[in-house]
């Protein structure tokens, strides 16, 4: 058999490549063997040297920007967590000491962290949509009623109202009263709830302005509404007490358009609900809550040109009073020491520059205190408070004290809510 002379150079080349390449292959294999077993991917879960260009393996980095590197930070993905962190009511070890704060435990066995009482107190007292409460409650009643139960009676009555500048006006007030006892295939009703409303124009003492007065009331006498629709969880809502909302608005349509609106809500109402519809505010759904609050709101606007040109808006909001969750057993009782928000923005009339004053992120002043008891008449088992200073330091934070000891700042709990189509 004859040999192929052209095959030898190719074979010799392959042989030479294998011989010469062996050391390089060994070096490559050896290099792969040196990689630590814990530093083998780019998932950000390695704690040794860098193995990629993602910067996720270097313990000298501060991924969450809280001033602490991953070497000392027990959670470098959360800026609220670091060795000098403030313990919050979030079930997390915020200060990296290996345990959550004592106030995050459920010491009274009610199914809630102790500090949940303070979060609840802030949400129920700083709620800025109580002016819609009568509407919200009436919506729930109408949604869960039938044509015959509860019985609905619509009447009209005369009402005399007085403006802020002492102008007295008599107007018609519409009243819708829902009452029981009654029952139907999908529920029943007891007691009574009367919803009333009025709206009328009036002439303020200053003839340059025009005004309108409006209001909504609820008077409930042990009203209870139960519903049990097919395919849905049974639900109920009970109301006992009253709500009174009044509003006084004046404006002018001259060259300078200006408005001044003032409103107040007086609430003394016990609300209980289970499987409540979304028309009810979130903090009143599936709860048992006594509200005794007074809320006010003022909005002043001015826009226009000419000799007295202006472009500004000022808003204030106050809340005072108390609220009690579970008033008949293991109550949380919260008291507001005149929370007051104040915010303004617009063009400065002297400098012509746009400016903002006040604080929308937290109350300018005031505080909320809440106490928990194991029973209605029992001793206080837990005490918390939060104080605000938005007038001098608008950072959305309030100073928290628990059982007489300062905890630190909790932030983002009590801003003025922006209007929305959804019931908060």
The string of DSSP letters for 309-322 reads -EEEEEEEEEEEEE
Rg of the Cα atoms in the chain: 33
115 with 410: CB under 8 angstroms?
A: no
Mean pLDDT in order along the chain per 10 residues (424 residues): 40 39 40 44 49 55 70 73 79 79 79 89 95 97 94 97 95 98 94 98 92 97 92 91 97 76 97 93 94 96 69 92 92 95 83 85 96 90 95 94 92 78 65
Distances (CA, A) of 198 to 161, 249, 393: 10, 14, 41
Nearest Cα residue to 122 out of 316, 354, 348, 400: 400
Tell me how far apart the alpha carbons of residues 298 and 5 are, in angstroms, rounded to a whole number: 103
Give the pLDDT of residue 22: 45
Give the pLDDT of residue 13: 44
Ordered by start, the domain boundaries in the chain are: 130-204+213-245
pLDDT digits (tens, 9 = 90+) for 213-259: 999 999 999 999 999 977 778 999 999 999 999 999 999 866 567 78
382 with 362: CB under 8 angstroms?
A: no
Give the pLDDT of residue 233: 87
Give the pLDDT of residue 302: 83
Coil, helix or strand for 138? helix
Which residue in this structure is represented by tokens 């001033």?
67
**CA angle, corner 102, sides to 96 and 104, nearest 5?**
90
Our measurement of the distance from residue 49's CA atom to the centroid of its chain's CA atoms, rounded to an integer in Å, reads: 43
Tell me how far apart the alpha carbons of residues 206 and 165 are, in angstroms, rounded to a whole number: 9
66 with 94: CB under 8 angstroms?
A: no
pTM of this structure: 0.80
Nearest Cα residue to 300 out of 192, 164, 129: 164
**What secondary structure does DSSP assign to 174-236, as a single string?**
EEEEEE-SEEETTEEEEEEEEEEEEEEEE--SSTT-EEEEEEEEEEEEEEEEEE--TTS--EE
């Amino acid at each position: 058999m004859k040999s192929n002379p052209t095959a030898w150079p190719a074979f010799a080349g392959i042989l030479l490549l294998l011989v010469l390449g062996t050391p390089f292959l060994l070096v490559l294999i050896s290099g792969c063997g040196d990689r630590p077993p814990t530093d083998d991917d780019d998932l950000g879960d390695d704690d040794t040297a860098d193995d990629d260009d993602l910067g996720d393996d270097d313990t000298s980095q501060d991924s969450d920007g809280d001033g602490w590197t991953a070497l000392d930070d027990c959670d470098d993905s959360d800026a609220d967590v670091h060795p000098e962190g403030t313990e919050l009511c979030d079930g997390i070890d915020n200060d990296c000491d290996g345990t959550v704060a004592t106030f995050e435990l459920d010491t009274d066995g009610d199914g809630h962290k102790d500090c949940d009482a303070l979060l609840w107190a802030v949400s129920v007292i700083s709620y800025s949509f109580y002016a819609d409460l009568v509407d919200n409650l009436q919506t729930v009643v109408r949604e869960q009623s039938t044509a015959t139960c509860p019985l609905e009676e619509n009447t009209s009555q005369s009402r005399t109202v007085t403006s802020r500048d002492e102008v007295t006006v008599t107007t018609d007030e519409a009243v819708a009263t829902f009452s029981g006892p009654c029952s139907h295939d999908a529920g029943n009703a007891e007691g009574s709830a009367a919803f009333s409303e009025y709206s009328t124009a009036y002439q303020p003492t200053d003839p340059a302005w025009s005004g309108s007065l409006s209001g909504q009331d609820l008077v409930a006498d042990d009203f209870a509404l139960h519903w049990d629709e097919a395919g849905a969880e049974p639900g109920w809502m009970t109301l006992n007490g009253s709500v009174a909302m009044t509003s006084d608005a004046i404006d002018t349509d001259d060259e300078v358009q200006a408005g001044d609106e003032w409103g107040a809500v007086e609430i003394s109402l016990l609300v209980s609900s289970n499987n409540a519809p979304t028309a009810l505010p979130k903090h009143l759904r599936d709860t048992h809550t006594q509200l005794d609050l007074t809320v006010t709101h003022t909005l002043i606007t001015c826009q226009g040109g000419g000799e007295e040109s202006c472009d500004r808006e000022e808003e204030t909001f106050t809340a005072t009073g108390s609220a009690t969750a579970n008033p008949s057993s293991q109550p949380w009782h919260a008291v507001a020491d005149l929370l007051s928000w104040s915010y303004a923005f617009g063009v400065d009339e002297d400098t012509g520059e746009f400016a903002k004053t006040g604080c929308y992120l937290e109350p300018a002043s005031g505080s909320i205190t809440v106490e928990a008891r194991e029973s209605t008449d029992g001793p206080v088992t837990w005490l918390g408070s939060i104080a605000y200073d938005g007038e001098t330091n608008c950072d959305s934070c309030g100073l928290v004290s628990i059982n007489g000891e300062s905890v630190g700042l909790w932030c983002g709990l009590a801003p003025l809510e922006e209007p929305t189509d959804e019931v908060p």
